[in-house]
Amino acid sequence: MFTVNGTTIVDYPRFQHRGLLLDTSRHFLDVSIIKQNLLAMSQSKFNVFHWHIVDDQSFPYTSNNFPDMATMGAYDSKHIYTQDQIAEIIEFARILGIRVIPEFDSPGHSQSWGKSIKDLLTKCYSSGKPNGQYGPIDPSLETSYGFLSKFFAEIAKVFPDHYVHLGGDEVNFDCWKSNPNITAFMKQKDFGTDYAKLEEYYMQRLLDIVSGVKKGYMIWQEVVDNGAKISKETIVEIYKNEAYMYHVFLTTLKGYRTVLQACWYLDLIKYGVQWPAFYSCDPHDFFGTAEQKKLVIGGETCMWGEYVDNTNVLSRTWPRASVVAERLWSAQNVKDANAAAPRLEEHRCRMIKRGFPAEAVNGPGYCSQEYSIHEPV
């Protein structure tokens, strides 16, 4: 006779969107590092990899239709992702139960795009003449939308997830204001001097292009903050850390599905125990109706790439990202940081045992198996 102990575990995620952003434009990250990060994500129950793949600084995505964008926009020929490598990352993530949502941010954050695509960026003027500087994508030219149509038709095929992140943040209007052709375009469209309307015009054209290739889209909150009228199918990501819960309230009040990022910047580091602030941030911590709170579909933590590369991105991300993962997975009443501290310490040691360089986050202590690397040759 055998006796078997029966145990029932009831566990399920509180939020459907549990994401982590990596930035591969400011510093390039090797495919092996991205895979290691995906493994760590899966072990903390993250299910969305937000791949901020390109930005002003570099364009490492190798496009089939526009190969010169990587040739001229990447740091060099070694700092690119080929189509095979991108497919490899997407498949690796899929096996782990992780979606890959790429971000191609425009009309700002696009300086690297303009190195190869003629007349894509706005020419900036001083004293009535071009000054050699370039601003955001030029929204007054039909050629801009022709390029975007062909580019996003490709992106729709390369990245199988339904969603693509279209950015829309931090658009500096100064260059647009300086350009006489855009001034004439504004007059033609009856926009007056409201450049937020010009941004809205661009974003709506872009959203229509992306809808046309059967993709859904995410955007940064700035598009909505500036009063743009966009489809209710849009997912809005709250990233500004000033009064962010008020922005969650306003965005859901307008009927948009919302993802919170503003309180989970892993790249903003300081001395001491930092993670309890991440743990105390809750996407539902605002005075809204039950219907508004249903529109909050989750959150993302982020590791922007200005000061991380292959040497430190994993240690700086983990295990602090796991704190956000627990917040997005566990019930709302699981919020005692003192109770979470030993769990986090145990998880860190578990990660170290599995080969991840997870940094110390609780002060002095030890793991029974410490992290080690081979001595340099």
- Which sequence positions are flagged as catalytic? 170
Q: Give how far Cα 357 sits from Cα of 51, 61, 95, 317, Å.
A: 21, 27, 23, 10
**Could you tell me which residues come within 8 angstroms of residue 102 by beta carbon, excluding any fewer than 6 positions away?**
51, 53, 61, 155, 159, 164, 165
Number of Cβ atoms within 10 Å of the Cβ of 369: 11
Both tokens of 108, joined, read 């700002």
Return the residue matching tokens 């209007």.
173
Q: What are phi and psi of 191, to 5 degrees?
A: -90, -10
Q: Which of 290, 276, 259 is nearest to 339 (CA)?
A: 276
Q: Which of 352, 355, 329 is nearest to 12 (CA)?
A: 329
Q: Which of 301, 299, 239, 240 is nearest to 267 (CA)?
A: 301
Is the CA virtual torsion 310, 315, 321, 322 positive or negative?
A: positive
Burial class of residue 8 (count of CB atoms within 10 Å of its CB; 0-12, 13-18, 19+): exposed
Burial class of residue 71 (count of CB atoms within 10 Å of its CB; 0-12, 13-18, 19+): middle
Q: What are the residue ranges of helices labelled H in 96-194?
A: 142-158, 174-178, 180-188
Q: What DSSP designation does 114 have?
A: G
DSSP output for 305-370 = STT--TTTHHHHHTTHHHHHHHHHHS-TT---HHHHHHHHHHHHHHHHHTT--PPP-SSS---SS-
Q: Are strands 129-137 and 121-126 parallel, antiparallel or unpaired?
A: antiparallel
